């Protein structure tokens, strides 16, 4: 049995002069006379390979010459040091076999963003996407790691639901056997029910928003990491989030420096992020915005432009708290000391990225919840189960939702959120 290894394992001094078996895809290829140089890529890295006609024979040489980039193949060859090769080593190929030929691969240099999105199924092979997908993998791994190490149980809510969490305007309606259902905007309310059993819970699941916004940070289907904890107040939740963000960044710095550098991410900036993050009450933020040239009135919600302008001024995330009650959904708990504001928080990422987390303390008093629902014109019948939680042993609790794609977008330093997810869904795109 042949033992195949990965390109990454070849790129070291110990491997020089050793014969190895590799398999992967042709990333680049050129011929000069009786030599073919090609770059082999696999999931781990790239390495230059050189094929001599005299070594492999004329038949094989001709076959290799005929196929195009992205053909898959196996090779057997000897590792050499080669300063001029892209990753410092070269394989002198003794034998190879083409597994799946490729001709006229549609993606070459100078393709538009739209073209690359239409061909996302092929573009995911690119080195940039490969690096982003690995960073994304580490972010998901770290999210699970953080929650599990901190006493949260993983759980799941349904995706088909009957009511809004974040307001009716962004609900996707789906026909449901003669009735109407919606795709969930957030698993929050279900997580709230589950804390009465498990106390601390989290879920990582898609959320859906019929967002009319065409911005750099909106998807219609995105990955949402949500947590909910019994006995927690707003500040307790903020403390966990801060710890979680630092934990995720640490994991990235341990495992993904190579990928971050490949994307030209400013790694130093990430290394400098420490707790505590900034904290600012909404009222203060309005002043801050106006002082820094962003016109904002008390009561205005933060839009992408405002957040971009504001977060430019910070070298770490900012928690904005105490928003006016009118601009937040009904479930947020009014501050008992100042009921015109709610005990909530949004975490804005620095470097112009903006909101990545939304969370806060939930109303746990039955009368307050019913009053807020009435003020917002919501029908209590649609939320009977949510109301029940306040009737049978209610407890203070808090939670949050983290947009995982937004986090990847920021941490990888990407210009648009669509690059942060394998198959982006936006107002204009549901394929491939
Ligand atoms: O609407 S949120 O601000 N809050 C909630 O959904 C709460 N119910 C979460 C909770 O407390 N359990 O959305 C939370 C985060 C937000 O900060 C963004 O990072 C992300 O979800 N989000 C999005 N990401 C990508 N695209 C869109 N359209 C989007 N909307 C929210």
Model confidence pLDDT, tens digit, residues 333-353: 999 999 999 999 999 999 989
Q: What is the mean pLDDT of residues 163-182?
A: 92
Q: What is the mean pLDDT of residues 136-152?
A: 98
- Indicate the pLDDT class of residue 307, thresholds 50, 70 and 90: confident
Model confidence pLDDT, tens digit, residues 4-59: 999 999 999 999 999 999 999 999 999 999 999 999 999 999 999 999 999 999 99
CA dihedral 421, 423, 424, 427 (to 10 degrees): -170
pLDDT of amino acid 40: 98
pLDDT of amino acid 406: 98
Distance separating alpha carbons of residues 233 and 343, to the nearest angstrom: 9
Q: Which CATH class is domain 7-100?
A: mainly beta
- Cβ partners under 8 Å of residue 10, min gap 6: 20, 22, 47, 79, 89, 91
188 lines ligand 1 (CB under 6 A): yes
Ligand 1: which residue has its CA nearest to atom 29? 218
Which is the closest atom of ligand 1 to the Cα of 331? 8
* Whole-prediction pTM: 0.96
Ligand 1: which residue has its CA nearest to atom 18? 403
CB atoms within 10 A of CB 118: 16
| DSSP sequence for 249-272 | HHHHHHH-HHHHHHTT--HHHHHT
Distance, CA 158 to ligand 1 centroid (Å)? 17
Instruction: Please tell me the total number of residues recorded for the chain in this structure.
Output: 432
Compute and round to an integer the Cα radius of gyration of the chain: 26
Nearest alpha carbon to residue 158 among 134, 190, 127, 133? 190
- Characterize the bridge pairing of strands 179-183 and 172-176: antiparallel
Q: What is the mean pLDDT of residues 250-259?
A: 98
Distance separating alpha carbons of residues 80 and 395, to the nearest angstrom: 66
Which is the closest atom of ligand 1 to the Cα of 191? 12
CB atoms within 10 A of CB 422: 12
pLDDT of amino acid 168: 81
pLDDT of amino acid 328: 95
% of the chain surpassing 90 pLDDT:
90
Model confidence pLDDT, tens digit, residues 361-373: 999 999 999 999 9
Distance, CA 372 to ligand 1 centroid (Å)? 21
pLDDT of amino acid 76: 98
Domain ranges of the chain: 7-100, 118-419
Q: What is the mean pLDDT of residues 112-120?
A: 95
pLDDT of amino acid 396: 98
Kind plus residue range of the DSSP H or E element containing 176 = strand 172-176
- Taking CA atoms, 428 is separated from 112, 211, 406, 420, in Å, by 16, 11, 19, 17
pLDDT of amino acid 14: 97
- Indicate the pLDDT class of residue 169, thresholds 50, 70 and 90: confident
Token pair recorded at residue 99? 């597994």
Model confidence pLDDT, tens digit, residues 69-91: 999 999 999 999 999 999 999 99
Nearest alpha carbon to residue 39 among 2, 89, 105, 78? 89
| DSSP sequence for 317-363 | -EEEE--BGGGS-TTBPEETTEEEEESEEEEEETTTTEEEEEEEEBP
pLDDT of amino acid 31: 96
Q: Is pLDDT above 90 for 312? A: no
| Phi, psi of 41, deg, nearest 5 | -120, 145
Q: Which CATH class is domain 118-419?
A: alpha beta
């Amino acid at each position: 049995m042949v033992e195949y290894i990965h390109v990454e394992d070849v790129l070291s001094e110990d491997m020089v002069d050793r014969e190895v078996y590799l398999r992967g895809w042709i990333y680049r290829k050129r011929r000069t006379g009786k030599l073919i140089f090609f770059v082999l890529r696999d999931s781990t890295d790239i390495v230059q390979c050189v094929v001599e006609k005299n070594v492999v024979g004329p038949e094989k040489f001709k076959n290799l010459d005929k196929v195009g980039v992205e053909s898959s193949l196996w090779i057997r060859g000897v590792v050499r040091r080669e300063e001029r090769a892209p990753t410092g080593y070269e394989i002198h190929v003794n034998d190879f076999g083409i597994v799946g030929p490729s001709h006229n691969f549609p993606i070459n240099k100078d393709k538009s963003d739209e073209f690359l999105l239409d061909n996302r199924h092929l573009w995911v092979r690119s080195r940039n996407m490969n690096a982003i997908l690995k960073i994304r993998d580490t972010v998901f791994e770290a999210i699970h790691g953080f929650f599990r190490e901190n006493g949260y149980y993983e759980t799941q809510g349904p995706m088909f639901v009957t009511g809004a969490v974040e307001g009716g305007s962004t609900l996707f309606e789906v026909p449901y056997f003669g009735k109407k259902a919606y795709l969930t905007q957030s698993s929050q309310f279900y997580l709230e029910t589950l804390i009465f059993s498990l106390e601390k819970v989290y879920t990582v699941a898609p959320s859906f928003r019929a967002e009319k916004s065409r911005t750099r940070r909106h998807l219609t289907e995105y990955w949402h990491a949500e947590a909910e904890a019994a006995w927690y107040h707003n500040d307790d939740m903020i403390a966990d989030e801060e710890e979680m963000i630092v934990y995720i960044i640490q994991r990235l710095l341990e495992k993904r420096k190579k990928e971050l550098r490949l994307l030209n991410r400013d790694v130093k900036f990430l290394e400098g992020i420490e707790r505590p993050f900034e904290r600012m009450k909404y009222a203060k933020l309005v002043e801050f915005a106006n002082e820094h040239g962003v016109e904002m009135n008390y009561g205005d919600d933060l839009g992408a432009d405002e957040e971009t302008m504001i977060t430019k001024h910070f070298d770490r995330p900012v928690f904005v708290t105490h928003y006016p009650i009118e601009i937040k959904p009904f479930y947020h708990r009014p501050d008992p000391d100042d009921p015109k504001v709610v005990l909530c928080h949004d975490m804005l990422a620095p470097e112009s990225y903006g909101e990545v987390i939304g969370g806060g303390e939930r109303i746990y008093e039955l009368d307050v919840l019913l009053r807020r629902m009435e003020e917002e014109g919501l029908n209590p019948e649609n939320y009977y189960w949510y109301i029940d939680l306040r009737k049978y042993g209610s407890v203070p609790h808090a939670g949050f939702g983290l947009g995982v794609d937004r986090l990847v977008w920021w941490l990888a330093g990407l210009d648009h959120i669509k690059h942060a997810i394998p198959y982006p869904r936006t107002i204009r795109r549901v394929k491939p």
